[in-house]
């Protein structure tokens, strides 16, 4: 059993009933853990009253909400594309000829009952996840041990079997290996009985295959004093910035592209969050004073800022799983090899993007200095009505056309809705009129930008050659959105990709 992992956490969190709906579409009502269960107020489930399997190994009892929190956060690595592909370099090098037998291992979550508490972990090449439940979470460890369960099945059990339970019982029932063949290290070594506990009774249970943990990579986290804190604050502060730029980070075919990432730039007294797919760019400026802790992380080479890049496919589920009142902390190690994210009782280690890739990330400052020609103001409500009507006709890709003094939309329907036409006026806020007879913007991209704006008017500034547009809130300039202009009848032209 491995107990060598140093833990970096900032507290203990509990999960409440959140956004997830039940299968019947109804949101669960908050429930009293002691109601109608026979448990006295403040008393935990009595493990000695439960019927445990004979000759079982690890035995733990965990409150159901704590279990759901641990599984949702610790499974993040295992349920990624890489985790579900079940192939890692370590397994390939060690036992390449057993690849088919090891197919289940890397999509698993390791659960270990130790002196430090119950530790949940999952690992892939660039991401390590860990969540720890302590005594204060209501956890009872009857017998120590460790198990390795497939993440998909564990998630399914937590979302169905444990829906209305008070606690979860986990007990490992080993199966004797028939031989000492090394392949046995990659085959199921037993079953884990997962019980749904109400009161002091197991009212339902399921058996899930468990795998040996001998080939499960060790998850190591540094102590808090050995890392540099880059930014620390409440989940809501990070989540708001991330949501505003997330739509601009699309699936990139090249896995090593810097555009797969959320970029953090140091702007002195503020932090700049940037996302781009080369066709549009979103920039959010947040004051450092809005966060609880921050530090100077500005790095430049040849006058070009080098951002901290965080893989978007990892950051999104981490922030989604975090509770609103959790403190999210982003740190780096001294060698600059890893990013560490701590969120309540959860810790994540992300391998940093290589410096030569980070240096290729676009310099956002060039967008801020874009020479401006014509500036117009558009009513956000007029835009919203017209765009929603376009979506009824499934015409998201119809262009937003600026012609004369009007904004025009036209889409051919793909259903019984044959066509949709939208037309509303805009106000010119600059002395320079539009030079082009018609200017087209991608409708869906434009909609994704203005949905994060709140004022009545949207300000659109075209650059002097009218190949790019800067879209911003008419009142609050903290969020900026840049788009390429579409050439007439040709989609994105030379100003695009």
Which DSSP string corresponds to 35-104? TTSSPPTTPPP-GGGS-PPTT---EEEEEHHHHHHHHHHHTTTTTSHHHHHT--HHHHHHHGGGTTTTTT
* Structure tokens belonging to residue 173: 């029932």
Which residues lie across from 261 on neighbouring strands?
Answer: 311
Cα 118 from Cα 146, distance rounded (Å) = 9
Percent of all residues in the chain with a pLDDT value above 90, rounded to a whole number: 41
Identify whether residues 233 and 333 lie together within a single domain: yes
- Whether the CB-CB separation of 294 and 230 falls below 8 Å is answered with yes
The closest alpha carbon to 370, from 461, 463, 281, belongs to 463
Q: 263 and 295 share a domain?
A: yes
Identify which of 417, 477, 434, 429 has the alpha carbon closest to the alpha carbon of residue 452.
477
Local confidence band at 242 (pLDDT 50, 70, 90 cut-offs): very high
Residues 151 and 290 in one domain: no
Q: Residue 183 has what DSSP assignment?
A: G
Residue with token string 């085959």: 187
Check if the beta carbon of residue 349 is closer than 8 Å to that of residue 275.
Answer: no
Residues whose CB falls within 8 Å of the CB of residue 53, separated by 6 or more in sequence, listed in order: 171, 173, 193
What is the pLDDT confidence band of residue 234, given thresholds at 50, 70 and 90?
very high
Residue 16, in any domain of the structure: no
Residue 320 in domain:
yes
Report whether pLDDT(36) > 50: no
- In angstroms, rounded to a whole number, what is the distance separating the alpha carbons of residues 397 and 91? 44
In a domain, 18, yes or no: no
User: What tokens appear for 98 in the block?
Assistant: 């057993």
250-292 pLDDT, tens digit each = 776 677 789 999 999 999 999 999 999 988 999 999 999 989 9
The pLDDT value given to residue 200: 85
Q: Which of 329, 349, 366 is the last residue of a domain?
A: 366
Nearest alpha-carbon partner for 251 in 334, 298, 311 = 311
Choosing from 173, 188, 210, the residue where a domain stops is: 210
- 115 and 200 in a single domain? The answer is yes
Instruction: Assign 12 to helix, strand or coil.
Output: coil
Structure confidence at residue 69 (pLDDT): 93
Question: How is residue 201 written in tokens?
Answer: 């009774």
Whether 391 and 327 share a structural domain: no
Whether 4 maps to a domain, the answer reads no
Answer with the residue of higher pLDDT: 100 or 255.
Answer: 255
Range of the domain at 121: 47-210
Q: Is residue 176 a part of any domain in this protein?
A: yes
Residue 217 is assigned to a structural domain of this protein: no
Residue that is last in its domain, among 334, 366, 398: 366
- 77: domain CATH number is 3.10.150.10
- Looking at the fold, whether 376 and 352 belong to one and the same domain comes out as no
User: Could you tell me if residue 239 is inside a domain?
Assistant: yes
Q: How many domains does the chain have?
A: 3
Output the pTM of the full model. Answer: 0.79
């Amino acid at each position: 059993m491995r107990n060598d992992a140093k833990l970096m956490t900032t507290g203990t969190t509990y999960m409440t009933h959140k956004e997830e709906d039940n299968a019947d579409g109804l949101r669960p009502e908050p429930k009293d853990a002691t109601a109608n269960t026979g448990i006295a107020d403040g008393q935990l489930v009595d493990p000695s009253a439960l019927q445990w399997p004979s000759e079982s190994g690890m035995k733990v009892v965990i409150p159901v909400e704590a279990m759901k929190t641990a599984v949702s956060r610790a499974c993040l690595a295992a349920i990624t594309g890489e985790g579900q592909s079940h192939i890692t370099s370590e397994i390939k090098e060690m036992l390449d000829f057993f690849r088919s037998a090891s197919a289940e291992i890397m999509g698993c979550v390791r659960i270990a009952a130790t002196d430090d508490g119950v530790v949940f972990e999952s690992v892939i090449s660039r991401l390590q996840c860990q969540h720890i439940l302590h005594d204060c979470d209501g956890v009872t460890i009857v017998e120590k041990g460790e198990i390795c369960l497939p993440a998909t099945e564990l998630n399914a059990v937590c979302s169905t079997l444990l829906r209305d339970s008070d606690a979860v019982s986990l007990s490992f029932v080993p199966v004797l290996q028939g031989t000492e063949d090394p392949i046995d290290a990659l085959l199921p070594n037993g079953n884990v009985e997962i019980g749904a506990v109400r009161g002091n009774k197991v009212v339902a249970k399921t058996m899930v295959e468990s795998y040996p943990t001998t080939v499960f990579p060790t998850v190591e986290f540094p102590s808090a004093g050995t890392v540099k804190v880059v930014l620390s604050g409440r989940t809501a502060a990070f989540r708001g910035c991330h949501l505003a730029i997330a739509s601009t980070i699309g699936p990139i075919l090249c896995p090593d592209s810097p555009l797969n990432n959320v970029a953090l730039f140091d702007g002195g007294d503020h932090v700049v969050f940037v996302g781009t797919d080369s066709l549009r760019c979103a920039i959010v400026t947040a004051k450092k004073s809005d966060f609880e802790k921050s530090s100077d992380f500005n790095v430049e080479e040849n006058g070009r800022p080098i951002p901290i890049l965080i893989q978007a496919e990892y950051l999104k589920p981490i922030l989604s799983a975090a509770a609103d009142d959790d403190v999210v902390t982003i740190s780096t190690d001294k060698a600059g090899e890893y990013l560490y994210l701590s969120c309540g009782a959860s810790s994540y280690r992300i391998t940093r993007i290589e410096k030569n890739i980070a240096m290729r990330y676009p310099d956002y400052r060039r967008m801020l200095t874009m020479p401006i020609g014509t500036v117009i103001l558009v009513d956000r409500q007029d835009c919203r009505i017209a765009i929603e009507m376009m979506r009824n006709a499934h015409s998201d890709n119809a262009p937003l056309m600026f012609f004369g003094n009007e904004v025009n939309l036209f889409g051919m329907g793909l259903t019984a809705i044959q066509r949709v036409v939208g037309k509303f006026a805009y106000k010119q806020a600059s002395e320079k009129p539009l030079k082009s007879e018609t200017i087209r913007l991608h409708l869906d991209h434009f909609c994704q930008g203005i949905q994060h704006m709140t004022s009545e008017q949207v300000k659109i500034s075209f650059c002097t050659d009218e190949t790019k547009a800067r879209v911003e809130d008419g009142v609050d300039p903290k969020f900026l959105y840049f788009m390429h202009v579409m050439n007439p009848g040709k989609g994105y032209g030379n100003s695009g990709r």
